[in-house]
């Protein structure tokens, strides 16, 4: 038996599959390439494999991580090649590292993630649609930041200040077992952020966010609060999200050695 | 595969977007410019249902093995996707042109650009989806409008339809260019190649004005092939009482009767080895091997039992090989066998034992549907289901021996009770019973029989497990009889919806037994299904009207809209009762009489007489009962005739 960590990218149309779909897809690749996974003991054995962090449906992922324990032992490159042959289009395996020294799961070591969010900026909305008309009950995910009337979409620096200088960035979050969402401040969970303006007028937001079991911030809340702050009327379906990388509590090489 | 921004926007808003992206494992990639014929295989229901259908995998495999053909896939978009495709969000009311036309999953090519568009007709209640898919493709619904002198007309795909519902093609005749009747494996490939040949030889430049267009030339060329029905070449003429007078042949290329296509040797017909493996969960997502085609039991209500004759088997070795290859190529962890009755395979016991061994080795779950419950089957089920026993299924279909004799369902109450006893002793806790109501000659006494069987099973459990009976349950599912074309009951009247409801109520009362659950089907759906099952060409108008009123996915209870259908029939001037509750005389010309299933029509009449006499017809393994199939092909090809099932059958004579 041997443990491995595999880095991969998920791009293109396959990004419309969910995390659970991807689990099944990976499980089948092992079956299809006759690379048996090790199974857990117990009444309901399951294969030993998992992802460092689930990737939401619709997101691209450029440096995703997957760990597994196989029954046999493989040269990492050989394993990589075997599995790569069984992968559906859009899943690209990039490297495979032996991980016998990894004691906790990769998921337990994941602390942050960097996202690239592309928002078609266009003309600022007269009235921000997120948050709706006064009196509308807030829905989970809605932002409660004030719109900045001076936000200048052609000046990324001013955008940064307008957003990052806020003491509190409030959004409505779904509560467990309760109907009403509650307000939370996401500002402390934002580690870094840059704004860039592309030629096609799209606003690119690069955000390093908490992303682990202790503290986790969904980029969806960045989208709603950024749009609201800057009065951007883009529909969610016009926004693309790409996860550029995952950050572990220690460098990966250190974790694996 | 990368797609454009507009489609991305749609996919980001739709439920389950992976239904619309293709990209599955084992998807076939070809350069469309390198092939001669491009076909879209269309399943008129959602992706999850269509991808679970083995016929799709079979034809996809056969067509794509041929380098000259590219077969792609398309499914019915769910209502939310339809709304986005039509751009209903932006424009109030229906858009003139869909915002995004229906496209194939292999190459995202608009369906309207295909050479051929082939629908599979698995159940009548999917018919409105066919019209909807044509419309979403921007293709005119009516075949006549696609044929017209309009110079653009040549560019519409030839619309094909095949599958069991094609045996009564008339309710779709106005919308379809070509129906394919019978086994599709050889026929469909041939049609694709004929199309390529016509396209190549046909050159507009050299044509004189009198020369027929590409489509007409093609239709004439294939009209004489066994299994090909071109409805435009047949004109129905009706009597004053509304019945069919005759089906007049209007083109010299078309035969009087369309003979069904038959594959005589199943063993040598290609079967999928690299099945498409969906990226998302579907209804069935497993490896499947068809063991044999046809059924010899001769249940008189059953269309499949007539139209798939005769029995033709695949070799055991071939089946095992195919199963292992599929598992290796797909990574599935479940395997199933497909046929009309699993245990009727002539080498079933050997095969089951070997398969169980192989599956155990590979950690694959084996599922064997519709087993006949003898002691061997119990051993098998006990092993493959282990602790997780699913329900045990019986389909007596009728509640009394008298009625079971009428429908020729060869199962006795003693069979059921013996098997139940065994099952309970082996630890089964759930028995499922399937019945049909509204069968010819049925009385309320027969319904009492249904309740009695359920009650007796509950009592057997008490006898074995004691007073408390454990968690034991019996489920009684009742469906409504729908008379089908090409069966001995094709002349019968169906019960009225009111009859069905009265019978459901009666049964619900009678089945108030502790530990028994009762399920039944909506009676209005069954009536509608009956209209299409035996309808004539005039039904097309009602179908189109219903689609215009918004009917879609009629097989789904949450979408079925009875009121819209009633309005559609009214607008089309059609009385559904004429098709459902009216008994036909055997001298009446039936709308499907020009379709020859190769089983003699006389045989169906004889079977009907026997039904009324309460006379059973034995399984034809015991000796030929003269249905006429052997005039055209060999019966039991590939089967091991020294097998016990032939002997047991003979001993019962
Ligand atoms: S011809 Fe005879 S043996 Fe063949 S299917 Fe018909 S009844 Fe059975």
Residue B360 is assigned to a structural domain of this protein: yes
The CATH code of the domain that includes A28 is: 3.30.70.580
Residue A165 is assigned to a structural domain of this protein: yes
CA angle A223, A229, A233 (to 5 degrees): 65
pLDDT at A188: 95
Residue A199 is assigned to a structural domain of this protein: yes
- The whole-angstrom separation of Cα A219 and Cα A171 is 12
Atom of ligand 1 nearest to the CA of B620: 8
Residue A252 is assigned to a structural domain of this protein: no
**Confidence at B50, pLDDT banded by 50, 70, 90:** very high
Query: B273 or B377: whose pLDDT is higher?
Result: B273
Cα–Cα nearest to B266, from B294, B285, B238, B286: B294
Instruction: Reply yes or no on whether the pLDDT at B96 is more than 50.
Output: no
pLDDT at A45: 82
Residue B347 is assigned to a structural domain of this protein: yes
Are residue A43 and residue A140 in the same domain, yes or no? no
- The whole-angstrom separation of Cα B266 and Cα B637 is 8
For residue B192, how many C-alpha atoms fall within 13 Å in the half-sphere facing its CB? 28
Are residue A128 and residue A240 in the same domain, yes or no? yes
**Confidence at B371, pLDDT banded by 50, 70, 90:** confident
Cα–Cα nearest to B531, from B204, B129, B127: B127
Atom of ligand 1 nearest to the CA of B631: 1
Interface of A with B in 217-246 (CB under 8 A): 235-238, 240
> Are β-strands B312-313 and A202-210 bridged in parallel, bridged antiparallel, or unpaired?
unpaired
| Any atom of ligand 1 within 6 Å of the Cβ of B622 | no
Percent of chain A whose predicted confidence (pLDDT) is above 90: 71
CA distance B515 to chain A (A): 30
User: Maximum distance among all alpha carbons in chain B?
Assistant: 88
- The whole-angstrom separation of Cα B45 and Cα B49 is 6
Three-state helix/strand/coil letters over B314-346: CCHHHHHHHHHHHHHHHCCCEEEEECCCHHHCC
- The whole-angstrom separation of Cα B248 and Cα B34 is 41
Residue A255 is assigned to a structural domain of this protein: no
Give distance in angstroms: CA of B182 to centre of ligand 1: 17
* Contact flag A34-B328 (C-beta cutoff 8 Å): yes
Write out the DSSP string of B2-27.
Answer: ---HHHHHHHHHSSSGGGG----BT-
Are residue B35 and residue B183 in the same domain, yes or no? yes
Residue A238 is assigned to a structural domain of this protein: yes
Write out the DSSP string of B480-533.
Answer: E----TTSTTTTPPPPPHHHHHHHHHHHHHHT--TTEEEEE--HHHHHHHHHHH
pLDDT at B88: 66
The three-state secondary structure class of A190 is strand
Judge contact between B255 and B304, C-beta under 8 A.
no
CA angle B536, B538, B540 (to 5 degrees): 95
| Any atom of ligand 1 within 6 Å of the Cβ of B296 | yes
**Confidence at B148, pLDDT banded by 50, 70, 90:** low
Are residue A57 and residue A170 in the same domain, yes or no? no
- Per the prediction, chain B carries an average pLDDT of 92
The three-state secondary structure class of A111 is strand
* Contact flag A57-B17 (C-beta cutoff 8 Å): yes
Residue A49 is assigned to a structural domain of this protein: yes
Residue B222 is assigned to a structural domain of this protein: yes
Query: Which of B296, B311, B598 to mutate for ligand 1's pocket (most ligand atoms within 8 Å of CB)?
Result: B296
* Contact flag A240-B333 (C-beta cutoff 8 Å): no
pLDDT at B519: 95
Q: Which residues of B touch A31 (CB under 8 A)?
A: 327, 331-333
Count up the domains in chain A and report the number. 2
pLDDT at B206: 55
* Contact flag B17-A34 (C-beta cutoff 8 Å): no
Residue B214 is assigned to a structural domain of this protein: yes
The CB density around residue B75, as the number of other CB atoms within 10 Å, is 24
Residue A175 is assigned to a structural domain of this protein: yes
Instruction: Reply yes or no on whether the pLDDT at A204 is more than 70.
Output: yes
Are residue A94 and residue A128 in the same domain, yes or no? no
Query: B151 or B633: whose pLDDT is higher?
Result: B633
State the average pLDDT over residues A35-45. Answer: 87
- The whole-angstrom separation of Cα B512 and Cα B516 is 7
**Confidence at B600, pLDDT banded by 50, 70, 90:** very high
- Per the prediction, chain A carries an average pLDDT of 90
Are residue A216 and residue A116 in the same domain, yes or no? yes
- The whole-angstrom separation of Cα A173 and Cα B647 is 71
State the average pLDDT over residues A209-226. Answer: 93
Are residue B242 and residue B366 in the same domain, yes or no? no
Instruction: Reply yes or no on whether the pLDDT at A147 is more than 80.
Output: yes
Cα–Cα nearest to A64, from A38, A42, A94: A94
Interface of B with A in 20-39 (CB under 8 A): 20-25, 27
Q: What are phi and psi of A210, to 5 degrees?
A: -55, 135
| Any atom of ligand 1 within 6 Å of the Cβ of B507 | no
Are residue B196 and residue B98 in the same domain, yes or no? yes
CA angle B301, B302, B305 (to 5 degrees): 140
Element of type H or E holding B179? strand B178-180
**Confidence at A200, pLDDT banded by 50, 70, 90:** confident
- The whole-angstrom separation of Cα B402 and Cα B240 is 39
Cα–Cα nearest to B276, from B50, B1, B35: B50
Are residue A124 and residue A227 in the same domain, yes or no? yes
Are residue A145 and residue A231 in the same domain, yes or no? yes
- The whole-angstrom separation of Cα B55 and Cα B242 is 37
Are residue A75 and residue A193 in the same domain, yes or no? no
Look up the domain containing B324 and give its range.
286-384+618-653
Judge contact between A135 and A142, C-beta under 8 A.
no
Q: Which residues of A touch B2 (CB under 8 A)?
A: 12-13
Are residue B67 and residue B206 in the same domain, yes or no? yes
State the average pLDDT over residues B598-619. Answer: 96
Query: What residues pair up with A7 in beta bridges, in sequence order?
Result: A65, A95
| Any atom of ligand 1 within 6 Å of the Cβ of B633 | no
Are residue A10 and residue A86 in the same domain, yes or no? yes
- Residue carrying the six token digits 């290609």: B270
Are residue B92 and residue B162 in the same domain, yes or no? yes
B477 reaches A (C-beta below 8 A): no
* Contact flag A16-B2 (C-beta cutoff 8 Å): no
Report long-range pairs for B648-653 (Cβ below 8 Å, ≥24 apart).
B649/B618, B649/B619, B649/B621, B649/B622, B650/B621, B650/B622, B650/B623, B652/B618, B652/B622, B653/B618, B653/B622, B653/B623
pLDDT at B549: 96
B107 reaches A (C-beta below 8 A): no
Q: In B517-581, where does DSSP find H-type helix? A: 523-533, 539-548, 562-572, 576-580
Q: Which residues of A touch B18 (CB under 8 A)?
A: 16-18, 21
* Contact flag B17-A16 (C-beta cutoff 8 Å): yes
- The whole-angstrom separation of Cα B153 and Cα B150 is 5
For the stretch B246-271, pLDDT in tens is: 999 999 999 999 999 999 999 999 99
Q: What's the count of helices (H) and strands (E) in chain B, helices before strands? A: 22, 19
Are residue B66 and residue B191 in the same domain, yes or no? yes
Query: B646 or B30: whose pLDDT is higher?
Result: B30
Q: Which of A52, A75, A100 is the last residue of a domain?
A: A100
Name the packing angle between helices B523-533 and B539-548 (round to 10°).
130
> Which of B103, B325, B331, B386 best probes binding to A when mutated, by most A CB atoms within 10 angstroms?
B331
Alpha carbon nearest to ligand 1 atom 2, residue: B624
Are residue B46 and residue B96 in the same domain, yes or no? yes
A17 reaches B (C-beta below 8 A): yes
Q: Which of A100, A121, A140 is the last residue of a domain?
A: A100
Give distance in angstroms: CA of B627 to centre of ligand 1: 5
Give distance in angstroms: CA of B330 to centre of ligand 1: 37
Are residue A209 and residue A87 in the same domain, yes or no? no
| pTM confidence score | 0.94
Judge contact between B402 and B446, C-beta under 8 A.
yes
- The whole-angstrom separation of Cα B315 and Cα B640 is 9
A28 reaches B (C-beta below 8 A): yes
Count up the domains in chain B and report the number. 2
Are residue B252 and residue B355 in the same domain, yes or no? no
For the stretch B530-570, pLDDT in tens is: 999 999 999 999 999 999 999 999 999 889 999 999 999 99
B9 reaches A (C-beta below 8 A): yes
Cα–Cα nearest to B530, from B567, B601, B578, B596: B578
Lowest-confidence segment of A132-136, A215-219, B28-32, B167-171 by average pLDDT: A132-136
- The whole-angstrom separation of Cα B293 and Cα B344 is 11
Residue B247 is assigned to a structural domain of this protein: yes
| Any atom of ligand 1 within 6 Å of the Cβ of B620 | yes
CA distance B25 to chain A (A): 5
pLDDT at A213: 87
B12 reaches A (C-beta below 8 A): yes
Are residue B291 and residue B225 in the same domain, yes or no? no
B278 reaches A (C-beta below 8 A): no
For the stretch B173-217, pLDDT in tens is: 999 999 999 999 999 999 999 999 998 887 654 555 555 688 899
Among B1, B9, B277, the residue with its CB nearest the CB of A89 is B1
| CA distance to A87, B33, B339, B345, B446, per residue, from B297 (Å) | 45, 48, 13, 13, 22
A54 reaches B (C-beta below 8 A): no
Token pair in block for residue A41: 């003991």
Percent of chain A whose predicted confidence (pLDDT) is above 70: 94
| CA distance to A80, A185, B56, B189, B399, per residue, from B72 (Å) | 31, 50, 10, 14, 46
| Any atom of ligand 1 within 6 Å of the Cβ of B217 | no
For the stretch A70-111, pLDDT in tens is: 999 999 999 999 999 999 999 999 999 999 999 899 999 999
**Confidence at A152, pLDDT banded by 50, 70, 90:** confident
The CATH code of the domain that includes B310 is: 3.30.750.210
CA distance A2 to chain B (A): 21
Cα–Cα nearest to A241, from B340, B618, B42, B12: B12
CB proximity list for A137: less than 8 A, separation 6 or greater:
none
Instruction: Reply yes or no on whether the pLDDT at B585 is more than 50.
Output: yes
Preceding amide of B310 cis, omega within 30: yes
Are residue B137 and residue B178 in the same domain, yes or no? yes
State the average pLDDT over residues B273-302. Answer: 95
pLDDT at B152: 52
**Confidence at A124, pLDDT banded by 50, 70, 90:** low
Are residue B215 and residue B352 in the same domain, yes or no? no
- The whole-angstrom separation of Cα B637 and Cα B608 is 28
Cα–Cα nearest to B158, from B134, B126, B181: B134
* Contact flag A88-B12 (C-beta cutoff 8 Å): no
Instruction: Reply yes or no on whether the pLDDT at B26 is more than 50.
Output: yes
- Please state the separation of Cα B159 from the chain's center in Å: 19
Residue A254 is assigned to a structural domain of this protein: no
CA distance B16 to chain A (A): 8
For the stretch B207-234, pLDDT in tens is: 555 556 888 999 999 999 999 999 999 9
What is the number of CB-based contacts under 8 A between chain A and chain B?
Answer: 72
pLDDT at B369: 85
The three-state secondary structure class of B423 is helix
ipTM of the complex: 0.91
Look up the domain containing A211 and give its range.
112-246
Are residue A207 and residue A136 in the same domain, yes or no? yes
pLDDT at B648: 59
Percent of chain B whose predicted confidence (pLDDT) is above 70: 94
CA distance B3 to chain A (A): 7
CA distance B185 to chain A (A): 27
- The whole-angstrom separation of Cα B64 and Cα B500 is 46
Are residue B332 and residue B247 in the same domain, yes or no? no
pLDDT at A122: 67
- Residue carrying the six token digits 């695949």: B314
Percent of chain B whose predicted confidence (pLDDT) is above 90: 80
Q: What's the count of helices (H) and strands (E) in chain A, helices before strands? A: 6, 10
Are residue A87 and residue A128 in the same domain, yes or no? no
Token pair in block for residue A72: 């046999």
Q: Which of A48, A74, A100 is the last residue of a domain?
A: A100
């Amino acid at each position: 038996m041997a443990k491995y960590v595999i880095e991969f990218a998920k791009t293109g149309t396959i990004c419309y599959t969910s995390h659970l779909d991807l689990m099944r897809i990976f499980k089948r690749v092992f079956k299809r390439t006759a690379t048996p996974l090790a199974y857990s003991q117990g009444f309901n054995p399951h294969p030993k494999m998992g992802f460092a962090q689930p990737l939401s449906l619709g997101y691209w992922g450029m440096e995703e991580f997957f760990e597994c324990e196989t029954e046999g032992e493989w040269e990492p490159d050989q394993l990589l090649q075997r599995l790569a042959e069984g992968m559906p289009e859009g899943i690209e395996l990039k490297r495979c590292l032996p991980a016998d020294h990894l004691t906790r799961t990769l998921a337990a070591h994941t602390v942050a993630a960097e996202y690239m969010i592309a928002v078609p900026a266009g003309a600022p909305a007269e009235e921000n649609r997120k948050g709706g008309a006064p009196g509308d009950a807030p829905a989970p995910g809605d932002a409660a930041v004030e719109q900045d009337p001076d936000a200048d979409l052609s000046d990324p620096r001013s955008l940064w200040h307008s957003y990052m200088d806020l003491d509190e960035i409030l959004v409505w979050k779904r509560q467990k077992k309760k109907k009403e969402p509650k307000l939370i401040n996401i500002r402390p969970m934002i580690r870094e952020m840059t704004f860039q303006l592309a030629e096609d007028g799209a606003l690119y937001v690069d955000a390093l966010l908490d992303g682990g079991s202790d503290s986790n911030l969904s980029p969806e809340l960045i989208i709603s609060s950024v749009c609201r702050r800057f009065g951007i009327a883009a529909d969610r379906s016009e926004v693309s999200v790409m996860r550029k990388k995952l950050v572990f509590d220690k460098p990966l090489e250190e974790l694996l050695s | 595969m990368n797609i454009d921004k507009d489609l991305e926007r749609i996919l980001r808003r739709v439920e389950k977007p992976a239904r619309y992206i293709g990209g599955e494992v084992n998807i076939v990639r070809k350069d469309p410019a390198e092939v001669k014929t491009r076909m879209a295989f269309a399943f008129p229901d959602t992706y999850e249902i269509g991808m679970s259908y083995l016929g799709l995998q079979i034809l996809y495999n056969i067509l794509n093995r041929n380098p000259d053909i590219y077969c792609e896939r398309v499914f019915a978009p769910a209502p939310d996707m339809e709304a986005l495709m039509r751009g209903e969000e932006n424009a109030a009311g229906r858009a003139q042109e869909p915002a995004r036309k229906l496209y194939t999953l292999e190459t995202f090519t608009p369906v309207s650009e295909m050479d051929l568009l082939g629908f599979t007709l698995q159940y009548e209640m999917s018919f409105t989806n066919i019209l909807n898919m044509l419309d979403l493709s921007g293709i005119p619904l009516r075949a006549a409008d696609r044929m017209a002198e309009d110079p653009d007309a040549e560019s519409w795909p030839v619309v094909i339809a095949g599958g069991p519902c094609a045996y009564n093609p008339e309710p779709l005749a106005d919308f379809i260019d070509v129906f394919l009747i019978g086994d599709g494996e050889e026929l469909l490939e041939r049609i694709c190649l004929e199309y390529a040949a016509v396209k190549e030889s046909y050159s507009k430049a050299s044509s004189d004005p009198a020369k027929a267009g590409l489509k007409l030339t093609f239709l004439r060329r294939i009209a004489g092939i066994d299994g090909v029905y071109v409805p435009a070449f047949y004109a129905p003429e009706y009597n004053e009482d509304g019945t069919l007078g005759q089906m007049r042949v209007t083109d010299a290329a078309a035969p009087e009767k369309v003979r069904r296509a038959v594959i005589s040797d199943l063993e040598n017909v290609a079967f999928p080895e690299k099945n498409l493996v969906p990226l998302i969960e579907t209804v069935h997502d497993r490896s499947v091997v068809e063991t044999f085609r046809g059924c010899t039991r001769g249940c008189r209500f059953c269309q499949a039992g007539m139209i798939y004759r005769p029995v033709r088997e695949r070799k055991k070795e071939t089946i095992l090989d195919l199963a292992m290859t599929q598992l290796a190529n797909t990574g599935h962890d479940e395997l199933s066998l497909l046929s009309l009755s699993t245990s009727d395979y002539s080498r079933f016991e050997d095969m089951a034992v070997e398969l169980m061994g192989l599956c155990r080795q590979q950690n694959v779950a084996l599922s064997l549907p519709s087993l006949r419950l003898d002691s061997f089957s119990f051993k098998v089920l006990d092993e493959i289901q282990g602790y997780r026993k699913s329900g045990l299924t019986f389909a007596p279909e009728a509640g009394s021996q008298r009625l079971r004799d009428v429908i020729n369902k060869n199962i006795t109450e003693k069979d059921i009770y013996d098997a139940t006893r065994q099952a309970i002793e082996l630890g089964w806790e759930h028995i499922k019973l399937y019945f049909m109501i509204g069968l010819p000659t049925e009385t309320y006494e027969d319904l009492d029989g249904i309740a009695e069987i359920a009650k007796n099973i509950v009592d057997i459990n008490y006898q074995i497990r004691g007073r408390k009976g454990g968690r034991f349950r019996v489920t009684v599912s009742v469906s409504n009889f729908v008379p089908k074309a090409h069966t001995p009951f094709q002349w019968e009247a169906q019960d009225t919806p009111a009859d069905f409801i009265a019978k459901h109520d009666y049964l619900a009362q009678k089945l108030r037994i502790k530990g028994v659950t009762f399920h039944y089907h909506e009676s209005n759906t069954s009536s509608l299904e009956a209209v299409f099952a035996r309808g004539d060409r005039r039904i097309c108008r009602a179908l189109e009207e219903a689609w215009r009123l918004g009917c879609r996915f009629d097989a789904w209870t949450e979408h079925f809209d009875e009121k819209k259908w009633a309005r559609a029939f009214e607008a089309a001037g059609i009385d559904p009762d004429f098709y459902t509750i009216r008994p036909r005389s055997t001298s009446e010309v039936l709308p499907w009489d020009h379709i020859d299933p190769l089983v003699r029509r006389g045989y169906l009449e004889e079977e009907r007489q026997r039904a009324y006499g309460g006379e059973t017809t034995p399984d034809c393994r015991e000796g030929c009962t003269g249905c006429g199939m052997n005039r055209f092909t060999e019966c039991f090809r590939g089967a091991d005739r020294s097998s016990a099932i032939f002997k047991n059958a003979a001993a019962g004579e």
